[in-house]
Amino acid sequence: MATVNSVTTTNPVETDGRGVPLVEVHDLRKTYQLGETEVHALRGVSVSIHAGDFVAIMGASGSGKSTFMNILGCLDKPTSGRYLLEGVDVSRLTKKELARIRNQKIGFVFQGFNLLGRTTALENTELPMLYSKTNKNDRDRRAREALAQVGLADRADHFPSQLSGGQQQRVAIARALVNQPRILLADEPTGNLDSRTSVEVMEIFQRLNLTGLTIILVTHEPDIAQFAKREIVFRDGQIRRDDVVKVPHMASEVLKTMPTIRD
């Protein structure tokens, strides 16, 4: 189903399986040269992801998940293969245009939170807007809104060192949301969190997905993958399985069954 369409869709929310996919990759390969040996991180990955989807990517360590995410996030370029984002061939874009895509269309959440340690939660959340020429008032307002979305309105002036791991990750999610991106890319966002906090993060993701945000999440915990709508399994740089999650778990329900040790 290689629908190569040069016209970019203007519909903010695509209906499942119809129209131009939000993300479309075709025979994606990535080879690293490590001295004499070649490391094939990706060996021909093809997949389409439509707007509104919630994908969990699973796979053993070293199977190419992060490499794939970095390419989707326009932080890295494939050795070969095509990547169309909203129908646009990303390989044709300049560095400046890629920076703009990272700023406007993509939100990143990392395993290690990656907040700026010496700035407050609010300032961290404002950061993407510094690169999109947003004026001070709008920055402040939108950053506070984003923090409220992740339940941290009252922690705006806290420094990362004054926040728990779960709270730091929620600041990182607020930062990823603040420019209203099309896709949220999360590479093992719960890798450093305990199980309850992990479910809390998934609850936020599910809530965001309900509003139409497309989410691609890497995890190696099967429990976490069950909160997504679709599960893709990587092995040795290739897609081994690509299944619909029949009945996704509802994080808000699961939380009710868990002991409430607030962080």
Partner 1 sequence: MKSLRRNLIRTVLTILGLVVGIAAFICVVGVGKAGSAKVEKELQKLGDNMIWIEAGSRATNGVRFGTRETKSLTVEDARAIFAQIPGLKRMSPNVDGRVQVVYGTQNWNTTYRGVAPEYFDIRRWEIQTGTIFTHDDVERDVPVCLLGQTVADNLFPNEDPVGKSIRVQAMPCRVIGVFQPKGASASGWDQDDFVAMPYTTAMKRIGGTSWLDDIFFSGTSRSAIPIATRQAVSLLRERHHLHPEEPDDFNIRSPEDVIRMQLQSSEIFTMLLGTIASLALLVGGIGIMNIMLVSVTERTREIGIRLAIGATEADIQFQFLAEAVAISILGGLLGVIAGMGASSLFQSTLQWDIKLTPQLLVFSGLFAAGIGIFFGYYPSRKASQLNPIEALRYE
Ligand X SMILES: Nc1ncnc2c1ncn2[C@@H]1O[C@H](COP(=O)(O)OP(=O)(O)O)[C@@H](O)[C@H]1O
- Which chain residues interact with ligand X by CB under 6 A? 32, 34, 39, 41, 59, 61-67
**CB 157 to Mg ion: min, Å:** 33
Q: Residue 110 touches which of partner 1, ligand X, Mg ion, none (CB < 5 to 8 A by kind)?
A: partner 1
In terms of Cα–Cα distance, which of 232, 170, 155, 243 is closest to 207?
Answer: 170
Residue 110 engages partner 1 in binding (rule: CB under 8 A) = yes
Q: Does 114 bind partner 1 (CB under 8 A)?
A: yes
The nearer residue to partner 1, 19 or 165, going by C-beta atoms, is 165
Q: Which residues contact 211 (CB under 8 A, 6 or more apart)?
A: none
Three-state secondary-structure class, residue 12: coil
**Residues in contact with partner 1, shown as a per-residue x/- string from 21 to 60 under the rule CB under 8 A:** ----------------------------------------
Structure tokens, 72: 């989707």
Q: Does 95 sit near partner 1 (CB under 8 A)? A: yes
168 close to 160: Cβ distance less than 8 angstroms:
yes
3 state SS of 143? helix
CB-based contacts of 190, cutoff 8 Å, min separation 6: 169, 197, 198, 201, 202, 219, 221, 224
Residue ranges binding partner 1 (CB under 8 A): 70, 73, 75-76, 95-96, 99-100, 102-104, 108, 110, 114-116, 118-119, 127-128, 131-132, 175-176, 179
Residue ranges binding Mg ion (CB under 5 A): 66
